[in-house]
């Protein structure tokens, strides 16, 4: 599909996204406050580039001390389908050991990306490792991963906007759309 024969159809409004983000923040604050009071920093790990927009909105709802860090991972497979070959091109700047790691992704699809990150941080002796994703496509799962905080389960459709891209485009749209052929 090229951009010229692609059609955007509204899927999630920005209002719905913000409502979902606020609900996630309430749960995260309740769970992490006791943990960080008793030692260890909360490190929010933003998976670039897609989770950037979600992370900026979510973190501003979490009014407690936290550190922000970034990873960049790519997984190569045939076409739009991801594979288990996950490669990390940018690692954290903060130490993982004895800290509480919360991985933020904008969507969990096959689960390979999140599985790779979970294993990596567990091996680095984090005090805890959890995953929060705005969107989740359970029907596409290949890797056995548990997503601790899911904003919304969605059907198997290709989505763009609010960080989600098609060939690097559409990330800056404030809402989420399905991308369909005209
Ligand atoms: P996974 O390793 O298959 O779970 O891949 C997750 C990553 O694939 C997400 O963080 C997105 O960057 C990308 N992805 C999955 N589904 C979509 C989609 O519908 N639109 C755009 N990107 C997607
Ligand atoms: Mg992503």
Q: What pTM, to 2 d.p., does this model score?
A: 0.94
The model's confidence at residue 6, banded by pLDDT at 50, 70 and 90, is confident
DSSP of 107-130: EESSSHHHHHHHHHHHHTT-SEEE
12 lines ligand 1 (CB under 6 A): no
Q: Do the Cβ atoms of 134 and 21 come closer than 8 Å?
A: yes
pLDDT at residue 109 in the model: 96
Please give the number of the atom of ligand 1 that sits closest to the Cα of 140: 3
Q: Quick: pLDDT tens for 46-60.
A: 999 999 999 999 999
Sheet holding 42-48, edge to edge: 86-90, 67-75, 42-48, 100-108, 128-136, 149-153
Closest ligand, as measured to the CA of 158? 1
Phi/psi class of residue 40: alpha, beta or left (left: φ > 0; alpha: ψ in -120 to 50)? left
DSSP of the chain: --GGGEEEEEEE-HHHHHHHHHHHHHHHHHHHHHHHHTS--EEEEEEETTTHHHHHHHHTT--S--EEEEEEEEE--STT---S-EEEEE--SS--TTSEEEEEEEEESSSHHHHHHHHHHHHTT-SEEEEEEEEE-GGG--S----SEEEEE--S--EEBTTB-BTTBSTT-SSEEEEEE-
Mutation test of ligand 1: which of 164, 167, 172, 173 has the most ligand atoms closer than 8 Å to its C-beta? Answer: 164
Mean pLDDT, rounded, for 65-81: 81
pLDDT at residue 84 in the model: 74
Radius of gyration of the chain (CA): 16
Mean pLDDT, rounded, for 24-35: 95
The model's confidence at residue 79, banded by pLDDT at 50, 70 and 90, is low
Mean pLDDT, rounded, for 93-97: 96
CA–CA gap between residue 86 and residue 7 (Å, rounded)? 30
State percent of the chain over pLDDT 70. 93
Catalytic option among 57, 63, 69, 109: 109
CA–CA gap between residue 49 and residue 70 (Å, rounded)? 9
75 lines ligand 1 (CB under 6 A): yes
115 lines ligand 1 (CB under 6 A): no
| CA of 37 relative to ligand 2 center, distance in Å | 30
129 lines ligand 1 (CB under 6 A): no
Can 69 be counted among the known catalytic residues?
no
| CA of 110 relative to ligand 2 center, distance in Å | 11
CA–CA gap between residue 47 and residue 104 (Å, rounded)? 6
**Does 71 have pLDDT greater than 70?**
yes
């Amino acid at each position: 599909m090229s951009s010229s024969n692609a059609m955007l159809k509204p899927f999630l409004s920005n209002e719905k996204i913000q409502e979902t983000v606020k609900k996630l923040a309430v749960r995260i604050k309740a769970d992490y406050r006791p943990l960080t009071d008793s030692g260890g920093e909360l490190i929010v790990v933003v998976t670039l580039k897609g989770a950037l927009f979600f992370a900026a909105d979510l973190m501003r709802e979490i009014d407690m001390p936290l550190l922000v860090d970034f990873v960049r991972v790519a997984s190569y497979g045939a076409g739009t389908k991801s594979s288990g070959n996950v490669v990390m091109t940018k690692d954290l700047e903060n130490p993982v050991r004895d800290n509480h790691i919360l991985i933020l992704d904008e969507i969990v699809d096959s689960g390979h990306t999140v599985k790779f990150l979970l294993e990596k941080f567990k091996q680095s002796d984090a005090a805890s490792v959890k995953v929060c994703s705005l969107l989740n496509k359970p029907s596409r799962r290949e890797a056995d991963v548990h997503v601790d905080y899911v904003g919304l389960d969605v059907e198997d459709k290709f989505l763009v906007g609010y960080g989600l891209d098609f060939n690097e485009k559409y990330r800056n749209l404030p809402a989420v759309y399905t991308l369909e052929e005209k």
